[in-house]
Amino acid sequence: MTGTAAPHPTPFSFTIRIGEECLNVSGSVPEGECAVEALVPLLLGVGEGIVAAAVRQIPPATRVSCGPGCGACCRQLVPLSLSEAAYLKNQVLPNLPNKHRKRVEQRIAAAAAALRGGKLLEVLRLLPEEPDPQQRQTVGVRYFLLGLPCPFLEHESCSIHPQRPLACREYLVSSPAPHCAHPDQGGVEPVPIPQKPSHALIQLDAELTHSPGWRTMIDVLIDAPAAPERTIPQPIDFLKNFLYHLLQSG
């Protein structure tokens, strides 16, 4: 009896212009149907490459303020695409070392209690459907004022740095770090990122799921133990559509 051969991966190669620099990306994706979270590490890598290229092009006298030990921005709401939500819940969190995972789960429980006490949890769950940008900003400030650290924040550093969301990768500043600790964000000078992979993936997820395409990260973490399974029938088409939205986000 002959076993079934494993499907061959589909290779890809593309180039993205980031300001004055060209970013070349190549690799492969599964040939057939796969879980959406299996594609997220690839997209995180694209995001990392775009951000690195943008940082290389800032003026020589400008220095990025962000770094280990600076968790000033890690108390803000983080928008998470639905694909990243599945990756975070089904891959990242369950595979943390036991003691690390327990610490994260304790922080998630503490955040849930604080949000319920502040009558904010249900507001956050409805936030992706809110059409008014001003109202979304108001909710963001309310959350920030609670001072809740990201459950993955340890010693003011990200404990899942290689797997951190696209939105976190894209949030870099050249202004003094203390400015990021104020809710009005006065004086904050973001590093320009020409293309936003986080926006592209949210747009793609919105199209595929007929929904806003995102949730806040803290809501995702507080929710059920695992995200609903979602499969992609043609991963190469998913990647092509992601690139289309990425080029539109510039």
16-49: per-residue pLDDT in tens? 999 889 999 999 999 999 999 999 999 999 999 9
The C-alpha angle 138, 142, 145, rounded to 5 degrees, equals 135
Q: Nearest to residue 246, comparing CAs of 190, 132, 166?
A: 166
Quote the pLDDT of residue 155. 92
- The residue that leads in pLDDT, 185 or 101, is 101
> pLDDT at residue 2 above 60?
no
145-162: per-residue pLDDT in tens? 999 999 999 999 999 999
Q: How far apart are CA 152 and CA 220, in angstroms?
A: 13
| Residues 200 and 193 sit within 8 Å (Cβ to Cβ) | no
